[in-house]
Structure 1
């Protein structure tokens, strides 16, 4: 068996000739201590004048003028809002679909799988959906009415765990 070693000092490679030196003491300081910049210097992507003229004046101001003069404000048009105390951020008991999506996501990306194309991802999701036990999915959704009633009667924080 033949063993090949590739050394940095190989003078037979034409591109390396003159690049490496057999004696570091004879290397010129401007070569030995030359600093190289790792990244390009940062530049501002957009200046304040450009931002003012092309973003604020050209786009935002016409939008404000056209929409805010019509009086189409949410507060003035009696829009119905769901206040935060009645709409908690994390209530998995009220949203079993989130649990199902989490299970599916774990199955799809199991063993660090990665999709190369959208169609490949679509096929993988379809295949993994078929692997989910339908009885488990039905069981997750079975008690949702009772859970929602509990939330409606006692408030969201009584039924949800954080």
Structure 2
């Protein structure tokens, strides 16, 4: 005879049966508290105890489970219509609607359709005017600067720890009760320290970063002195000696302050005029992807900094480690991204 396979549920029932029988005089609560340390749900424990008292065997009787229900052709069409391009239905809701287990719905979709659960992508909330003007202005930028190298700048915040990075909010364990607190819990301060990092990049390279503590905003004076004069100008001199570039800042008020514009014009730095600059088009600015790539490297293996100074050094080190070919590919994609919005419009209009 082949070896009998005992399921986890049967093994649990047998243990509860045995423990309850040996400690019946101490009451049901004693059994509950004993197995609750294994994170077994309260309802499960008491259900097993009732099963024991009714004289039923701990082993599952062959054929005692729920009868499998197949979805016929008529209901299959309804299922497709219910799930395809929808965000208002769940597997459990569908199971109740079709009077079957939700796992049957999942298997049907997986085996007989190409419908899969997808994660929504975040996009900025744009007004109708912004959506319409994005296409017009991206077309203008594409035609006017299609032969130029794009220099983009941006700022982003870095915290001491970053649990939202993929992989940093999970852990593996065969017994949660034996897992050290430092592994199974992610500490979060109500007001966690963070640092603001400014940087610019182009197909030719990456500038020196500028760091500023949280709470100290980058106003026009700081932007002009620390970012433009000390970082952008040397970057242009190093990588763009000829006028083969166009500088594209975002529409932050400090970026188009009169003092900043006067300085850029005085130094003959080619930049996108404010009237030509489309609002809220991160899909055209690959520096947004650059931040994701950099943060993934900074917080790799669930890295946590002990101080802002340590975090700054970590960011500098990771910038040096970035794959230059990937960064170049990102910055070279501006033209292609502009062209797509120019032809198709922003995502909401597709």
Name the TM tier (shorter chain).
0.3 to 0.5
When normalised by structure 2's length, the TM-score is: 0.20
Question: Quick check: which one's strand share is greater?
Answer: 2
TM-score by length of 1: 0.41
Instruction: Report the structure number with the largest CA radius of gyration.
Output: 1
